Amino acid sequence: MSILEYNGAAIIAMSGKNCVGIACDKRLGAQAQTVSCDFRKVFQYNKTFVGLAGLATDVQTMSSLLKFRKSLYELREEREMSPKVLSNLLSNLLYEKRFGPYFIEPVVAGLDENNEPFLSGMDLIGAPVYTDDFVVTGTATANMYGMCETLYKKDMEPEELFETLSQALLASVDRDALSGWGATVHIVTKDGIITRELKARQD
């Protein structure tokens, strides 16, 4: 088993019409043993969300490091950090530790200053990929790609985006032993952020 799969995770970010959504499961495991079912994997930085899948200790380390660097940027620049800048910052943080990497594969989702969706994903050394439909990470990636390719439509409204994200995530984690046990979905619109909790199979 890869160290990236040790704790289990499933995260999907998806774009809609002037909105963006990110969904993650809640399970924290130690291989096949479930330790907790309320573990945070998605973190909010203004109107940008970062989903961190991988080793749980590195998820917590990177989330606090990102929070610190974002606050420092905003004190210096006197403006909010855009999703693209946050994605580049995260990529650089990972790449500078490439010889002893953080064992995480992040996704970034948010709305830019024009309320256009921004999505990016990267590997554990920060090599980024930018997309305009959806990006997935975690132990259930094969399942999530299949579900997203089936259910995704362009220019979805926030409610339809929520439904699509939820169905894609729940169907995927039901077929993955290392993720699941409930889910959290965040939808970012120009008017605000909608957060909902989902029930899932507890097995």
- DSSP for 72-123? HHHHHHSSPPPHHHHHHHHHHHHHTTTTS---EEEEEEEE-TTS-EEEEEE-
Q: What is the mean pLDDT of residues 73-87?
A: 96
Pair 19, 157: CB distance under 8 Å? yes
pLDDT at 119 over 90: yes
Instruction: Name the band, by pLDDT with cuts 50, 70 and 90, for residue 203.
Output: confident
Task: Give per-residue pLDDT as tens, 93-110.
Answer: 999 999 999 999 999 999
Average pLDDT of the chain is 96
Cα 180 to Cα 183: distance, rounded to the nearest angstrom:
7
Instruction: Give residue 191's pLDDT.
Output: 94
Q: Is the pTM of this model over 0.85?
A: yes
Instruction: Give residue 1's pLDDT.
Output: 86
